[in-house]
Each structure stands twice: as C-alpha cells, then as structure tokens.
Structure 1
Amino acid sequence: MASSDDKEETLFSKRPEWADITPIPQDEGPTPLVPIAYAPDYADAMNCFRAILRSEERSPRVLELTKFLVRQNPAHYTVWKYRLDTVLALSSSIPPELTFIDEMASETPKSYQIWHYRQALISHLNDASAEHAFINEQLAVDSKNYHCWSYRQWAVSRFALWEKELPDVEKLVDEDVRNNSAWNQRYWVMRNRPEGFEEGNLEEEIGYVVGKIRLSPRNESPWAYLRG
C-alpha cells in the first residue's frame, strides 16, 4: 500500500481515484512565443482542474486538488472561486476550511485572494466569533498588513464589532507610534461607529494625540489624524 508521502508525490492524473478524468492540457496556441515552464506536478494538476471545470464536479477530491493548486499559486483566483463553490456545496467541510485558511493566511498574508475567500466564508456562516482573535494574530505578525486592516474594517462593520476597536488600536499605537495603519483605523472608527464622534470628547481626543506627537514630533501619522 502506498504511503501518504508517496501519494503526495504522485501526479493527480496517475492516481487511481482520478482514473475517470481525462486531463485537459493548456492550449497556448500552435506557436507560443514564450511558453510558460510550469512545474510538472502543477501543470498536471491544472490539466485535471480544467477537466473538473468542464464537468462542474463538486466533491472531496476537488477540495484535495484545489488545495494543492492554491498552495502552489495562492493568487489563482479561478481556483479559489471554484473551491469556494465546492465548499459551500459540501457544507460539512466549512469548519476545517477555516483552519486551512488560517494556515494560508499565515504563509501568504499579502495574497488578497485569501482574504476575499475568508470573507465569503464568514459571510456565508454569518458568524464572526473567531475573527477578532484571528485578525489580531495576523496583525501581531505584521501590524501594517493592508489586506488584514481592510478585512478588519469589513468584519467590524458587518458584525458590529466596535467594542474592542479603540483598545486594540491604542495598544498598537503604544507599541509603535508611527503605525499609520493603526492611526487610520482609529480615525475610521471615530467616523463610522454608531455613536459617531461626540464633540464632548474632542478635548480628550486632542489631548491623546498631542501626547503621542510629543513622543515623536516628526512622525506625520498623528499630525494627519489631528488635522482630520
């Protein structure tokens, strides 16, 4: 019996469970000017994926195939979209899918396809109970990850997660007073939270900003916030 390692090294088209699939090679025309030199295992997997696209199959083996492909190319939007449709069709696969996305976000945090994919899953679940911890874990690695901040704003707005925003932002500013992303988030919260920005808090807010300016007078982030 073949081990799991042997299976990982076997091309998808050569595996017994894929024997019913006729791979579809990429058509680059009769005389391609600069043919792309894909790795053999990736090219083979994509050939199988094209066959799956044609048959519109949604199955656990599709999840296995697309997992391999997005690990090889996290920016492949078409594969991500097909995987999403398959996961939603196989609703029992959603919980482990979030674990997989946790791993992918840690490995390639700047791939916007991963963040869009997670947003689609959480929207479908209508449950953001794990998102606060997940987002903070990602920001602990890179506190200026634009994709993570954009996702955070979506989650906060979509699920009304306003309560912890200012404490979290203040913590990030305390760690790095030059973190423009954190300053931007503070401004966004003040402008968009349900209670809005109360004029009675203006003096207190100015005092907070001036205190940060004194720590680093040439830091443009709090000056831009104060101007806003």
Structure 2
Amino acid sequence: MPFSASDWKDVVPVPQDDGVQPLAPIAYAQEYTEAMDLFRAVLLSGEKSARVLELTAFIIEANSSHYTAWKYRLDTVRALGSPLEDELKFVEEVAFETPKSYQLWPYRQAISDQLNQPQREIDFVGRILALDSKNYHAWAYRQHIVSKYDLWDSELEYIDGLLRDDVRNNSAWNQRFFVVSRRPAEFTAADLDAEVAYALSHIQKAPHNESAWNYLRGQASHCAVLLAARAHLLTVAAESCLS
C-alpha cells in the first residue's frame, strides 16, 4: 500500500531516541525512518484513520514482525469498521512473502474469526503449507480452524494425502496425533487398532523413519492415560454404589 510523508504534514514526527552517543545505531532506510517517526506520533495521539492503515501497511510490509504495527492496525480496523475481506487479502499478500512471521497469524485469526469462512481459511493455510510443509505457525493456525469449526474428519483425509506424498513429514504426523487425540468423538479400542495398523503400514514403507515410530509411541501413551482415567471412573462408580 502507498505511503507518502506529504500526507502527514500536520503531524510532528517523533524520532527514535537512541541516546546522545548511540553505540551501534541501525541504518534504517530513510523512508522507513520517516514512517516510524510518524507511527510514534500516531501512538501518542491515538489517531485511527485511513492514512493510519496506509502507514501501518507500509511498516508491516517492510518489517512483518512489527508486533505493535499489527496490533495498532487491528485497533484501527475495528475503530473504522473497515472491510474485513480487505484485511484478509492484505494478510495473504504479507503471508506469501514472509510466511514464518509469527505476528501475522494472530492477526489473521482475529479477522477470520469474525467472518466464519472455515473453507477459505483451510484453503489459505493449505497454500502456505504447500510452500513449506514444516511451517509450525501455519500448523498452529490450522489446528485452531479445525477445532473451531469441527473439521476433524476432513483433516484426517488431508493428512493422509500429505503422508502419501512424504511419509517422513513429521508435521503431518504431529497433526494426525492432534486430530486423533483432540476430536470430541470417544477414542475406542477399534480406533486404537486402526491407528496402530496405520502407523505400522507407514513404518513398512520407511522403517527408519522416526516420525511414524514416535506416533505409535504417542498413541500407546495416550491410550494408557485414557485407560487409567477410565479405571479411576469405574472405581469411583463402584465405591458410590457400595456406599
């Protein structure tokens, strides 16, 4: 988005205070320095306007990890009632440039949670993961979408496709464990048998792949906890009946 210092002639910039004799000042680009000087003034005044959106867009595109710019942009969008669809498009532009920027994902969630478009979000994350299947920020966001919109079954199909393409995709294995262990449906003995068989079938394809073995170990631990909890409930119930 465009940024022009000439649009801010009515604002007194607030320069960065590096002290009298800074030891190692950062050589910012001149335009970025001007933008940040104006942004500090905005933070002091509390201005929420269209030009603030342009200013924060410029700062974020220059430095997508600028948490304060993201937060102030969100506050401005909410104050102005700006179109949320425009914000999703903006995030997508930034995401495909810097997909591992932590700050963009909470922002995306704050916007998307108001729109309730789960398929759009799943498709968006899928495109990001197609670029890098190990992007844990994207996976964390995907877990939020799956949980919020109850997409457990379709997620298993997606994971299965990833593992067919790359049996060593440890992120996909982790996501499968997340789905199997967190979905609301009760985990039965038949489910355990199915997951063990699933893991063993993939171990046969790559016996030295740690991911499938760790998944198998995780299922064993998960089931041990479930069985212990069930035994405790049965004990409490029995004691209650006898008392």
TM-score (norm. length: structure 2):
0.85
CA contact (8 A) 1:12 1:44 kept: no
Identity of aligned residues (%): 52
**Aligned counterparts of 2:12 and 2:34: Cα–Cα separation in 1:** 11
Question: What does 1:1-228 correspond to in 2, within 5 Å?
Answer: 12-13=4-5, 15=6, 17-228=7-218
**Aligned counterparts of 2:92 and 2:79: Cα–Cα separation in 1:** 21
**Aligned counterparts of 1:161 and 1:129: Cα–Cα separation in 2:** 10
Q: Which sections of structure 2, spanning at least 5 residues, go unmatched?
A: 219-243
Give, in angstroms, the shift of residue 143 of structure 1.
Answer: 1.0
The Cα offsets for residues 89-108 of structure 1, whole Å up to 9 and x where unpaired, read as 12233111101111111110
The Cα offsets for residues 30-68 of structure 1, whole Å up to 9 and x where unpaired, read as 121111111100000001111111111111111111111
Amino acid at match of 2:95: A
Give, in angstroms, the shift of residue 205 of structure 1.
Answer: 2.0
Amino acid at match of 2:166: D
CA contact (8 A) 1:88 1:94 kept: no
Amino acid at match of 1:87: V
Could you tell which deviates more after superposition, 176-185 or 201-210? 201-210
Amino acid at match of 2:59: L
User: Cα RMSD between the aligned structures?
Assistant: 1.6
**Structure 1 moving runs of 4+ over 6 Å:** none
Amino acid at match of 2:91: I
| Higher gyration radius (CA) | 2
TM-score (norm. length: structure 1):
0.91
Paired residues, number: 218
